[in-house]
Amino acid sequence: MEKGRREVVVSALQFACTDDVSTNVATAERLVRAAHAKGANIILIQELFEGYYFCQAQREDFFQRAKPYKGHPTILRMQNLAKALGVVIPVSFFEEANNAHYNSIAIIDADGADLGLYRKSHIPDGPGYQEKFYFNPGDTGFKVFQTKFAKIGVAICWDQWFPEAARAMVLQGAEILFYPTAIGSEPQDDGLDSCDHWRRVMQGHAGANVVPLVASNRIGKEIIETEHGNSAITFYGNSFIAGPTGEIVASADDKEEAILVAQFDLDKIRLKRHSWGVFRDRRPELYKVLLTLDGSNVPF
């Protein structure tokens, strides 16, 4: 007997941030409500949406932006919103945990329950993206979360460049991958535009794992005072939703606020994933080289 269709509507939000928490959280709530009105069940807000992307600078005072996970006011507000609308909302935030700090995300289910925490695993360090100054490497490992609508994998920004992360989540049963993001221009090189590269890498994750993928990025120009003068990044948006063969099914531009939505039949995709054979024909015993940094001294 054939099973019934199990359909889910996902959404990616895109907006320009101010450096005022209350303004940004209000914008996020407005867009979540609008996405819900379009039928969305799982709604992704961009990375660190409470304020400017502060990692352009190495400043001690910016540690004041971090808050503990438990009792976090934005998470609590999104829990109330998720429960009121019956939607799932991953909530990105700057986490303080005693003397450690993480780039984290809490997964809020459709009844308002907090399903748990993922802490960003891969921490970048380059001009304009100096995250190692603020964030410890995440210690949660890659996780999946059983929500009302689907089992989802959620990773954060720089994680999206690593195929191992996507595969790890899908191996654990993730049916959809979500990547909140903050990426744009490179302060040290005006001619470097990573947007198309950024998209193609994640389209590859979707296609290689035969799952839909949702990426949410911010827009707008943000200027941060650094120890060497002002630094500016123009965030290039281009948030998108990819289908299970990597095809783009919804896309934003680089300037406008956006609410993207797409519907997927998860049972149909599951059958396609199983029949395509990429998980049947895996050879984990041959992949031990992935446990090394330089490809040598492979453990046996």
Complete DSSP assignment for 74-99: HHHHHHHHHHHHT-BEEEEEEEEETT
Q: Which structure tokens are listed for 143?
A: 């996780």
Asked if 179 contacts 205 with a C-beta cutoff of 8 angstroms, the reply is no
Q: What does the pLDDT read at residue 76?
A: 98
Pairing label, strands 258-265, 248-251 = unpaired
Residue 80 amino acid letter: N
Which runs of E-coded beta strand occur in the chain? Answer: 7-14, 42-44, 89-97, 100-108, 114-119, 125-126, 129-130, 144-146, 151-154, 176-180, 213-216, 219-226, 229-236, 240-242, 248-251, 258-265
Count CA within 13 A, CB hemisphere, residue 79.
13
Q: What does the pLDDT read at residue 3?
A: 52
What are the φ and ψ backbone dihedral angles of 17, each rounded to 5 degrees? -90, 145
Partner residues linked to 106 by β-bridges: 91, 117
Residues classed as catalytic: 47, 120, 157
- pLDDT 10s digits, 52-109: 999 999 999 999 999 999 999 999 999 999 999 999 999 999 999 999 999 999 999 9
Q: What does the pLDDT read at residue 2?
A: 45
Cα separation, 94 vs 78, in Å, equals 15
DSSP designation for 263: E
Count CA within 13 A, CB hemisphere, residue 81.
27
pLDDT of the chain, 300 residues: tens digit per residue: 345 689 999 999 999 999 999 999 999 999 999 999 999 999 999 999 999 999 999 999 999 999 999 999 999 999 999 999 999 999 999 999 999 999 999 999 999 999 999 999 999 999 999 999 999 999 999 999 999 999 999 999 999 999 999 999 999 999 999 999 999 999 989 899 999 999 999 999 999 999 999 999 999 999 999 988 999 999 999 999 999 999 999 999 999 999 999 999 999 999 999 999 999 999 999 999 999 999 998 887
Q: What does the pLDDT read at residue 146?
A: 98
